Amino acid sequence: MITEVINDERANELLKEFNCSINDYKDNPFSHILMYDDKGIIVYTKIYDRVEIEYIIVDKQYRRQGIGKSLLNYIINNNTDTINITLEVKESNIEAIKFYEKCGFEKVTIREKYYGIENGILMIRKFDKNEQ
């Protein structure tokens, strides 16, 4: 089950992988954190009609079970006023890039040294208002 996270120790455990915590988002009224049965988390920001995904993190023991896709689909299906969803992914994270492409995202541009010494790829999923 997918639920909104307000203050959760498990969410912080998952976010620790990226050196952040719930506290980094709790004061931002545009930020949202959702958890899938303590197995995965998605952090995103919604400002007006745009969504930017900050993180999708699935616990290593639960990967390849559709949890990331369920979280992403939840965002897609519950933001019907959204015109697009964007995210950045490390250029070397081929598995994630393929996952996002399967979910309808397209590569837009390379962001040089976005992750320190590594490039990031900006990806977008646009919505046709007729599909929602």
Burial zone of 71 (CB within 10 Å; 0-12 exposed, 13-18 middle, 19+ buried): buried
**Active-site annotation holder among 25, 36, 44, 100:** 100
88 among known catalytic residues: yes
**Active-site annotation holder among 13, 52, 88, 91:** 88
Distance CA 36, CA 41 (A): 6
The 84-90 sheet, strands edge to edge: 2-4, 31-36, 40-47, 50-58, 84-90, 118-126, 106-115
The full DSSP string for 10-38 is HHHHHHGGGT--GGGTTT-TTEEEEEETT
Enumerate the active-site residues. 88, 100
